[in-house]
Amino acid sequence: MILFKKYYNRMFLNDVRRIIEEYNMIEDGDRVAVGLSGGKDSITLLFILKLLQKYSNKNFELCGINIDLGFDMDMTLLENYCRENEIELIIEKTNIGEVIFEDRKEKNPCSLCSKLRKGALYRVAIANGYNKVALGHSSDDAIETFFMNMLCVGKLGTFHPCIKFEEKGITVIRPMVYVKEKTIKSIVEMEQLPVIESNCPVAGKTKRQEMKELLADMEEVYKDLHDKIITALQNIDTEKMWKQKR
């Protein structure tokens, strides 16, 4: 059973509440679907939002949605956790893995996989009457995405904490973007949250992993690198940016 502990406030809840309030992410009457991959980030987000549902003054519904990519991952632990904590879990079977690795034989599969997976997630959420989709990105993910865009694509930018898709009638929220990955790891360990090992053929061999290692090396020299980049993403001096190419 998920129970509130006072030290959660300083450890992570204050940061989550702050981003939710800054972007008005969750309102009374919302139906929030958490995208559950089985990894540490998404199960931590589910845990945090269940805490808020139980102990905050926000009145919202909550469920988890797992998009099964076809990699034969055993979701029993996740199913048991959701049942024990009275969280609806929707598992949607897909052939996304087969399409990417067998049909198209993608050399750089992560981008396409992400698009197909999110498309399926949004479709299932809408079909089940959910108006918010919550993704478990951390502040580390935001920084890694910024560097991937800069070094691999040649543009400045990262994902936004809150995006409303008017045409779909759904809003995508990222309530953990002020929470560091090391904090998420600590939560998983302390709460013994169920984390399911990924069977993806390219797990641990991605551009994101390269960025993670690059940033770790940089932090050896610049100790406050992480916090400075997060601050910079909210403090953009547009007058000193070059004009966009036409």
pLDDT tens column, 162-218: 999 999 899 999 999 999 999 999 999 999 999 998 777 777 678 889 999 999 999
> What pLDDT does 178 receive?
97
> What is the C-alpha to C-alpha distance for residues 63 and 57, in angstroms, rounded to an integer?
18
69 in a structural domain: yes
User: Does the annotation flag 136 for ligand binding?
Assistant: yes
> What is the C-alpha to C-alpha distance for residues 176 and 15, in angstroms, rounded to an integer?
8
User: Does the annotation flag 129 for ligand binding?
Assistant: no
137 in a structural domain: yes
> What pLDDT does 106 receive?
66
User: Does the annotation flag 41 for ligand binding?
Assistant: yes
The percentage of the chain sitting over the pLDDT mark of 90, rounded to a whole number, equals 74
What tens digit of pLDDT does each residue of 25-59 get? 999 999 999 999 999 999 999 999 999 999 999 99
245 in a structural domain: no
> What pLDDT does 103 receive?
66
Total domains in the chain come to 1
The domain spanning residue 21 has which CATH number?
3.40.50.620
The alpha-helical segments, DSSP class H, found in 56-163 are 76-84, 96-98, 110-127, 139-148
CA distances from 37 to 115, 220, 234 (A): 14, 31, 28
Instruction: Supply the mean pLDDT for the chain.
Output: 92
Weakest mean pLDDT among 97-101, 102-106, 236-240: 102-106
User: Does the annotation flag 37 for ligand binding?
Assistant: yes
145 in a structural domain: yes
User: Does the annotation flag 36 for ligand binding?
Assistant: yes
242 in a structural domain: no
233 in a structural domain: yes
pLDDT confidence band for 79 (50 / 70 / 90): very high
Average of per-residue pLDDT across 108-122: 86
180 in a structural domain: yes
Domain that holds residue 210: 8-237
Q: pTM for the full model? A: 0.93
182 in a structural domain: yes
Cβ distance 30 to 164 under 8 Å? no
